[in-house]
Amino acid sequence: MLIDGEKRTAIWPDPNGEGVFILDQTRLPHAVANVLLRDLDDAARAIKDMLVRGAPLIGVTAAYGMALALRADQSDSAMRHAAEVLRATRPTAVNLAWALARMTKFLEPMPEEMRRDAAFAFAKHLAEKDIACNEAIGEHGLTLIRAMAEKRGGQPVRILTHCNAGWLATVDWGTATAPIYKAQGAGIPLHVFVDETRPRNQGASLTAFELGQQKVPHTLIVDNAGGHLMQRGEIDMAIVGADRIAANGDACNKIGTYLKALAARDCGLPFYVAAPVSTFDPALAEGRLIPIEERAPEEVTFMPGLAPNGEVISVRIAPKDTPARNPGFDVTPARLVSGIITEKGVFEASTEALAALA
C-alpha cells in the first residue's frame, strides 16, 4: 500500500544484509519511522512492545526473528531457544506459533551450515505468501461488498471496522481492509467508519492513517458509537479481523469486537470476520479455550498523544490510585458471525464448514 504516495510493505529485508526493517507502529500516525531489527532480541522486543501489530505481521516478524537468531548460532538448541523466546512474546495470536512451527519444520532436517540462508529465504517466502493470501481475501470479500453495493443502488457502502486489520497488521493489503481496497479499485463507492479501539487506539492511529493514505473516505468514531450508528441505519455491514479462530468458528479479536457483533445482530446487519487460514486453530474446539492476553493497566490509565509542541507524550486520564484491568481481546461466538472471509473463500462459522480448512 502507500505512504506519502510511495509503495510500502510493513516489513522488508535490509538490502545491505544488516537485518530486517519494520515500520515502527508506535510512532504512527505522527511520524513514519523505520526500525532495523538486527537480532533475536530486537525481533522479540518489536513484537512484545507492539512496534509490529496484527496476527499475520507478528507471524512473519517471528519468522524473520528466527532467521536473525540463526545468523549467530545455527544449532538445534539455538533454534529451539529462538522459538521459545519469540513464542512467549504474545500469547493470543496463533499466527505467531504457526510461523515458528513452519520455520522449525523446514529447517530441522537441514545440515546446520545451510540453515542461515535457508531461514531468510523461507521467512521471505512466508511474507510473500501473506501478501498473496491477503489479496485473495480481498477478492473474496469484494463479492460481499459488491452485493451490498447493488442493494444500496449506487449509494456508498458504509462499513464498520474495529482495531487495525489493515495492511499495517499484515505484510500488505490487510485482512479486513483488503476487501475495502479491492472495492475502491473496482470503483465501488464506500465509506468506512473506524472505531478508535481503546486503549491503544489502533483504529485512530493506524486504520485511519492507512485509509487516509489510500484516499478511502472514512470517519473516526469512538468505540461506543457503532451500535448507535447501526440503529440509525448509517452502517450497512461490519468487517473485522481475528487473532485466532477456534474450530467451531468462535473468533478472537481486539477487545470490543464482541459488543459490535451483538449490536450488528440486533440491528440485522451482516458481521464478517476476515482472516487467513493460518489464523485458524483446529486444536481448540471453542473460543473459551483461547488464552486472552492481559496487558499493562497503564495502557488504560494513560493516553498517548501529540502535544502542541509536536512532542508525543503520555498523560494520565484516571485518578492516581485507581486500578485498571486491560484484557487485550474478546471472543465473538460463531452464532454472531455472518461468515469468515479467507483466501480460500467465504465460509460459514461452524465446525462442519471450517473442517475443510484444518
| Sign of the torsion angle spanned by Cα atoms 18, 20, 24, 30 | positive
Interstrand relation of 237-240 and 271-274 (parallel, antiparallel or unpaired): parallel
Q: Are 350 and 248 in contact (CB under 8 A)?
A: yes
Determine how many CB atoms are found less than 10 A away from the CB of residue 88. Answer: 12
Q: What does residue 280 show for φ and ψ, rounded to 5 degrees?
A: -80, 140
| Residue whose cell numbers read 476476515 | 274
Q: Are 87 and 275 in contact (CB under 8 A)?
A: no
Q: Indicate if 42 belongs to the active site.
A: no
243, 250, 281, 330: the catalytic one is 243
Within 8 A by CB and 6+ apart from 102, the residues are 63, 122, 126
Name the grid cell of 354: 471450517
Report the alpha-carbon distance of residue 168 to residue 201 in Å, rounded: 14
Closest CA to 149 of 180, 195, 194: 180
Task: Indicate which residues carry an active-site annotation.
Answer: 243
